[in-house]
Amino acid sequence: APVIVWFRNDLRLSDNPALSHAVASGRPVLCLFVHDPQHAREHALGAAAQWWLDGGLRALHADLARMGAVLHVACGDALALVPRMAAQAGAAEVVWNRRYDPLGRETDTAIKATLKHAGVIAHSFAAGVLYEPWTVRTRAGDAFRVFTAWWRAARASGEPLPPLPAPGHVHAAVSPGAWEGCCVGIDALRLVPVSPDWAGGLREAWQPGEAQARDRLHHFVDGGLGGYADARDRPDLPATSRLSPDLRFGHISPRQAWHAAVAAVRGGAAGGMGEQDLEKFLSELGWRDFAVSLLYAQPELVSCNFRTEFDAMPWRNDARDLCAWQQGRTGYPIVDAGMRQLWRTGWMHNRVRMIVASFLTKHLLCDWRMGEAWFRDTLVDADIASNVINWQWVAGCGVDAAPYFRVFNPVLQARRFDPDGTYVRRWVPELAGVPTSCVHAPWTCDPAIRARVAYPSPIVDLQGGRARALAAWKGLSDAP
Ligand code: FAD
């Protein structure tokens, strides 16, 4: 009887405990992916992430074929499909790597119960995080709410396990005839846009797949990590790993990223990387896990404020402001550069994500959920936990959040983190010829230069927007 490996957010062969277990069992293996857009409801993949998934599935299909196996792709309700396909295949066992988001957990628990009832073994493994949410707890057994305390406890619990190698060969089972009725080609999932084809920028920027992820990781740890601690906040420099979509879709595991960085430092291969750079990088991987563990402890944070006093926030939610923000036409160059980079490439630098999120929720007084939804649709790395937790963090309503009264000034932030204006000029080409002294605040340019530049005027006055946000927030804190 075969064993089914159900791939989800783990589109890789190496450090894939579910796959390794299936291969080691000696049983013939069936590889399965189920696209389930209906069940995902409001958390269905956004358009950019769907584009990524298409490439990721094609790469996995090719990688498995090289090992002698087939990736079977089905489309529909996983709750019904997985048990049915297991029965059709006469499978002895179904294995997968665990998910931690509310909907994923709910689905997996239900499927496990159905399989068990049918006498099929269901076995799940840890592969998507460094520390599973329930393994790092306070002394009282509660979830941590502060990153530094969580991180200290996580580190004290030991190093993440070393990654597993990819299996040398997969003994593939003959495809069950009955599966023909449920399996479709990757094309049939229609994950990529056709008319209009807006994905040109994504294709230029990225190639999804395990081999490409491995290249990105090695390029980074062998060279980019040197100076990471200081340069990671500079959007004008290629100073970060850009591994977020690979981690999101599991082309690499966080354990692989962790151990590759540690080995590079210990082996002295990391291009001048010091302990400080390494620690900073590891702690960023930690933030990813922390977001997962927060959402695990409080699934309602997907849409509810952690700090409930924010439920009464008088958000303006002005449709025209939101549209200008989405389209990169706010008149603030660093905000517009970030939003255009996002639209074109499906990715935005972390510092700029913080600036645009602060601008939307504070200067424009738009509900963080509107920004979160836009990011969910446009980011190739869109991830429920990281997105929701970071949006709430910036908006001031989240766990361990920056206080609401700390409002980023986009001009000062831009001068500090994009000192020559290189990033802004790249994404806002209208400003290419503007002198550095005023590139982050074009309204201060010499009127003759200003007249030649077709760039919008600011949609909000920085002082006025800040004062309005603080007054709204003060109304909350003064409320009885
Ligand atoms: P690096 O600096 O190389 O960091 C390595 C890895 O650590 C990243 O790939 C990522 O997996 C993780 N990481 C780094 N910073 C964070 C963080 N603040 N929170 C969680 N994980 C982190 N990241 C997502 O993966 N998906 C999202 O949907 C997402 N939405 C965000 C929304 C907002 C408003 C903000 C401020 C941040 C968001 N982030 C999100 C976190 C962060 O911006 C990206 O992970 C990072 O920019 C990815 O670039 P990198 O891979 O070069 O990062």
Whether residue 139 is found in the same domain as residue 233: yes
How many CB atoms neighbour CB 338 within 10 A? 30
- Which residues lie across from 33 on neighbouring strands? 7, 73
Ligand 1 centroid, distance to 446 Cα (angstroms): 38
Whether residue 336 is found in the same domain as residue 434: yes
Indicate the average pLDDT of the chain.
Answer: 95
DSSP assignment, residue 335?
H
In a domain, 173, yes or no: no
Residue 409 tokens read as 């000034």
Q: Please indicate whether residue 368 is annotated as part of the active site.
A: yes
Residue 405 tokens read as 């009264």
Q: Please indicate whether residue 150 is annotated as part of the active site.
A: no
Range of the domain at 424: 308-475
Whether residue 121 is found in the same domain as residue 3: yes
Using 70 as the pLDDT threshold, list the residues of the chain that sit under it: 42, 269-273, 480
Smallest CA separation from ligand 1 atom 21, residue: 288
In a domain, 180, yes or no: no
Whether residue 331 is found in the same domain as residue 469: yes
Q: Is residue 328 a contact partner of residue 459, using CB atoms and an 8 Å limit?
A: no
Q: Please indicate whether residue 350 is annotated as part of the active site.
A: yes
Which pLDDT score, from 0 to 100, does residue 81 have?
Answer: 96
* Residue 139, domain CATH: 1.25.40.80
Predicted ipTM beyond 0.90: yes
Report the Cα 111 to chain-centroid distance in Å.
26
In a domain, 52, yes or no: yes
Ligand 1 centroid, distance to 82 Cα (angstroms): 32
| Domain final residue, candidates 76, 107, 127 | 127
pLDDT, one tens digit per residue, over 295-352 is 999 999 999 999 999 999 999 999 999 999 999 999 999 999 999 999 999 999 999 9
Q: Is the dihedral of CA 73, 202, 303, 247 positive or negative?
A: positive
Per-position b or e across 119-140, b if 16+ CB within 10 A of its CB: ebebbbbbbbbbbebeebbeee
| Domain final residue, candidates 297, 321, 354 | 297
Whether residue 259 is found in the same domain as residue 332: no
Q: Is residue 73 a contact partner of residue 36, using CB atoms and an 8 Å limit?
A: no
Whether residue 277 is found in the same domain as residue 315: no
Please identify which of the residues 368, 374, 393, 473 carries the catalytic annotation.
368
Please identify which of the residues 391, 393, 427, 473 carries the catalytic annotation.
391
Which pLDDT score, from 0 to 100, does residue 480 have?
Answer: 63
Gap between the Cα atoms of 352 and 334, Å rounded: 7
Q: Is the dihedral of CA 81, 63, 282, 21 positive or negative?
A: positive
* Residue 351, domain CATH: 1.10.579.10
Ligand 1 centroid, distance to 376 Cα (angstroms): 13
The number of folded domains in the chain is 3
Whether residue 252 is found in the same domain as residue 315: no
Residue 286 tokens read as 């930690």
Whether residue 48 is found in the same domain as residue 98: yes
Where do runs of H (alpha helix) occur along 5-144? 17-24, 37-40, 47-66, 78-89, 102-117
Question: Which residue out of 45, 350, 360, 388 has the highest number of ligand 1 atoms within 8 Å of its CB and is therefore the one to mutate?
Answer: 350
Which pLDDT score, from 0 to 100, does residue 405 have?
Answer: 86
Residue 9 CB less than 6 A away from ligand 1: no
Residue 86 tokens read as 């297991």
Which pLDDT score, from 0 to 100, does residue 440 have?
Answer: 98
Q: Cβ-count burial of 91 within 10 angstroms (0-12 exposed, 13-18 middle, 19+ buried)?
A: buried
Which pLDDT score, from 0 to 100, does residue 432 have?
Answer: 95
Whether residue 397 is found in the same domain as residue 450: yes
| Domain final residue, candidates 74, 99, 127 | 127
Closest approach atom of ligand 1 to CA 245 = 25
* Residue 29, domain CATH: 3.40.50.620
Whether residue 279 is found in the same domain as residue 416: no
Whether residue 391 is found in the same domain as residue 424: yes
CA atoms within 13 A on the CB side of 324: 21
